C-alpha cells in the first residue's frame, strides 16, 4: 500500500498565497494542489492531517510558537473550515486530528506506527519531517515548493536542529552555534563533550529545544479519524456553487478519477 500524508495547514498556507482572488480562491487553490499531488504520487490512501494544540511542547516552554500572530482574516478562516468540511464528508480521503498533538506528531504516528509496513510519502515543505526519513526509502518527504524528494540529513536531524533552534516556532537555539559549529560538534564526540562541559548553560537550552522539536508519541485511540466515500455529485455541486469553472468543465473526469480511485 502507498500512503500519502498531507500536512494540511502547510498546503492551505501555500493555497492562500498562490494566485487568485475572490471569496473562494484559497479553497480552489487547495483542491487543485491536492489533486496534483494525488496524480503525481498515485497513492492508495490519502490522509489530510489537521492541527491540534501543542500541549506537550507548551509544557516545556510556554513561549513555544508564541511569536505567531492570531489570524483574524475571516474569509481565510471560513475557507479553511470549508476545506476540512468537504474533505470529511465527500472527498474519499481520510481526515486525522488529535486535539492535543500537532499535525507533525500525528503524521509521525501514521508514518512510523499505523502504516509501519507501507510505503509512505509526506507532502510538506516543513523540514522537521526529515526526522521521519529512514534508510530503507519506505518513508519519503516530497517538498511541493521545490518539486523534489528531500534527502535525509547527514546527522541526526533533531539533534542538529536543537543546536540551532527554530525561529519559526520560537524555539531558542544555543547562542553562537550556527551550521558550521553544529557540524563540528556532531562530527566529533570529543568536541561535543568538551563544548557542553565548558558551556554548562548550553545543555539546558539544547534539552528544551530537543524536546520541542522531536515528534511526540500519539495514542492511536485518541486520534479522531473521519472518512467518507467519494461523492462526485456532491463535490461537483460544491465546486459549481463556487464557480470553479476550470474544474467543473472538461477537466471534471480527471477529478473523478483522481479521487474515485482512492481507498477510504
Predicted local confidence at residue 64, as pLDDT: 84
Q: In the predicted model, is pLDDT for residue 53 greater than 90?
A: no
Q: In the predicted model, is pLDDT for residue 69 greater than 80?
A: no
Predicted local confidence at residue 84, as pLDDT: 96
Predicted local confidence at residue 70, as pLDDT: 80
pLDDT in tens, 30-49: 999 999 999 999 999 999 99
Predicted local confidence at residue 104, as pLDDT: 96
Long-range contacts of 65-69 (CB under 8 A, 24+ apart): 65/169, 65/170, 66/170, 67/167, 67/170, 68/170
pLDDT in tens, 98-138: 999 999 999 999 999 999 999 999 999 999 999 999 767 89
Predicted local confidence at residue 54, as pLDDT: 84
Q: What percent of the chain has pLDDT over 70?
A: 100
Predicted local confidence at residue 137, as pLDDT: 85
The pLDDT of 87-106, averaged and rounded, is 96
DSSP 152-167: PPSS-HHHHHHHH-BG
pLDDT in tens, 137-190: 899 999 999 999 999 988 999 999 999 999 989 999 999 999 999 999 999 999
Average pLDDT, the chain: 93
Q: Which residue has the cell 511542547?
A: 57
Give the strand order in the sheet containing 224-227. 148-149, 139-143, 119-123, 2-7, 45-49, 94-97, 224-227
- Beta-carbon neighbour count of residue 6 at 10 Å? 30
CA distance 240 to 245: 7
Amino acid at each position: 500500500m502507498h500512503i500519502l500524508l498531507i500536512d494540511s495547514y502547510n498546503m492551505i498556507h501555500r493555497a492562500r498565497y498562490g494566485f487568485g482572488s475572490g471569496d473562494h480562491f484559497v479553497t480552489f487553490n487547495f483542491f487543485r494542489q491536492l489533486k496534483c499531488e494525488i496524480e503525481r504520487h498515485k497513492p492508495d490512501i490519502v490522509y489530510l492531517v489537521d492541527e491540534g494544540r501543542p500541549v506537550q511542547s507548551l509544557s516545556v516552554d510556554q513561549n513555544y510558537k508564541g511569536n505567531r500572530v492570531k489570524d483574524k482574516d475571516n474569509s481565510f478562516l471560513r475557507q479553511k473550515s470549508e476545506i476540512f468540511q468537504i474533505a470529511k464528508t465527500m472527498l474519499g480521503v481520510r481526515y486525522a486530528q488529535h486535539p492535543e498533538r500537532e499535525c507533525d506528531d500525528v503524521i509521525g504516528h501514521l508514518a512510523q506506527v499505523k502504516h509501519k509496513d507501507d510505503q509512505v510519502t509526506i507532502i510538506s515543505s516543513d523540514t522537521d519531517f526529515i526526522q521521519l526519513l529512514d534508510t530503507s526509502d519506505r518513508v519519503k518527504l516530497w517538498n511541493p515548493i521545490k518539486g523534489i524528494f528531500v534527502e535525509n540529513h547527514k546527522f541526526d536531524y533533531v539533534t542538529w536542529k536543537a543546536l540551532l533552534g527554530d525561529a519559526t516556532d520560537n524555539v531558542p537555539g544555543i547562542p553562537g552555534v550556527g551550521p558550521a559549529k553544529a557540524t563540528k560538534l556532531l562530527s566529533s564526540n570529543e568536541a561535543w563533550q568538551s563544548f557542553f562541559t565548558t558551556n554548562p548553560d548550553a545543555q539546558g537550552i539544547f534539552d528544551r529545544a530537543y524536546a520541542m522539536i522531536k515528534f511526540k508519541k500519539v495514542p492511536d485511540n485518541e486520534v479522531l479519524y473521519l472518512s467518507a466515500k467519494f461523492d462526485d455529485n456532491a463535490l461537483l455541486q460544491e465546486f459549481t456553487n463556487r464557480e470553479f469553472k476550470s474544474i467543473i468543465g472538461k477537466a471534471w473526469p480527471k477529478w473523478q478519477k483522481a479521487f474515485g480511485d482512492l481507498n477510504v
